[in-house]
Amino acid sequence: MIEIKPNIQIDSTCPQSGTILKPKSIIWQGMHVCAVCDAQGSKTEIIDDLKVGHSRNNPSQIDLEKGLVFGKDGAKEWLGNQLLKSLQYPNREEIEISKEVFKPSKQVIILNCIDYLYGHSLLKLLNAQRHLEQQPDYGLVVIVPKFLRWLVPDGVAEVWTVGISLKNGRCYYPSFDEFVREECSRFEKIYLSEAYSHPSQFDISKFTRVTRHNFDTEDFRITFVWREDRLWCSMLLFRFLRKFKLIERALFLQNWKVRKLLSGIREKVPSAKFAIAGLGRKTQFPEWIEDFRVDRYNEKTEKEACQLYSESRIVIGVHGSNMLLPSGQAGMSIDLMPEKRWGNFGQDILYQETDPRLASFRYRYLPVETSIGELADLATSMILKRLDFQKNMMADKL
């Protein structure tokens, strides 16, 4: 945690002079929380991006007057430069903010979940469980975009729900900054959660209020997680389809592959139910594949989807944030990895298994080019051989 009241806790130096930075105020940019600092021995003012979320490993420093960004080269484009741009061109729109107070607190931890990517926002929110369990003497204040409000767990002190869309998640809203500054005046001591981008342990059911998959249940589903913006095909084919604006036609190819995959699993696991879920309702499926896809998610449909995932012995889908909740609620998962996404390996899976041996069995990663036959064989093996694997690998614990 980072103390920001009554003291602002930073340990940074000026990127130009090397002198120690003296923090004097906080800017609630939105996605970022920054300290406005003076560089000792000079008139330079530096905006220090506090080490929160993805900025924890990729912090930036801004000289707003000179329009300069300092930080890791690899992170400047998607973090530092975007932060500078937002500060240079604030969004003056008055955004809707609602405040819910469940219990009064003078000492609080603020967990800021605003981001421009759905997965980033959700992963930040999962830090709430750690604070509720490990810092019970502090009230937890959670800042969430509207689409995450339903996932805020019980036990928090306050929820501030902000009308900032993902599209505008990088923007600087002075109205948001003013709101948070005013609310912070109510508290005597404030810590800022580091909002780790990938918290290590949590129970997803505390957030969704949906029980995770029960392996002892005889009735179960096998579910494919559908998406229409990142297709189940090779990157070479995807680039070709996108270049010639044939993506919609390619959905029929994806539909055929899903049907063939589920049909292959059905031959060996005939007692299972089969389902398709996710975003986009183009193309049709046969009646034996229950279609739970939607054109747009809302609180009701997301809760229903989580229930579907919890009934799924295994979920299969192309890598992306679309796999977060499915992998967290389902028994097992297969993540199909596009060629250029291996650098993000594991980032879209909510591990709910703490034993590394069982985790290696439950969560699988395959190249997106893997043949349908191989994929069907692997999924079938995971379903039918799971108990044997557990007995062999966990004999000393059973």
Q: Which amino acid is present at 63?
A: D
Q: Which two tokens stand for residue 390?
A: 């557990």
Level-2 CATH architecture, domain 206-393: 3-Layer(aba) Sandwich (3.40)
Contact predicate 342/228, CB 8 Å: no
Contact predicate 314/331, CB 8 Å: yes
For residue 93, with 0-12 CB atoms within 10 Å meaning exposed, 13-18 middle and 19 or more buried, which class applies?
Answer: middle
Element (H, E) at 174: helix 174-184
Residues of the chain below pLDDT 50: none
Helices (H), 332-398: 356-362, 372-393
Distance CA 287, CA 305 (A): 19
Instruction: Please write the tens of the pLDDT for every residue from 130-157.
Output: 999 999 999 999 999 999 999 999 999 9
CB atoms under 10 Å from CB of 246, counted, come to 13
Element (H, E) at 347: none
For residue 30, give every residue at least 6 positions away whose Cβ sits within 8 Å of its Cβ, in sequence order, or none.
86, 114, 164, 169, 170, 171, 172, 173, 176
Element (H, E) at 338: none
Strand partners, 133: none
Q: What is the pLDDT of residue 15?
A: 81
Element (H, E) at 48: strand 45-49
The full set of domain ranges for the chain reads: 2-88, 100-168+180-202, 206-393
Q: What is the pLDDT of residue 398?
A: 63
Q: What is the pLDDT of residue 376?
A: 96
Cα 186 → chain centroid: 30
Q: What is the pLDDT of residue 225?
A: 97
Distance CA 326, CA 348 (A): 10
Distance CA 275, CA 69 (A): 48
Three-state SS at 158: strand
DSSP label of 116: S
Distance CA 159, CA 130 (A): 17
Single out the residue of 324, 257, 336 nearest to residue 289, CA to CA.
257
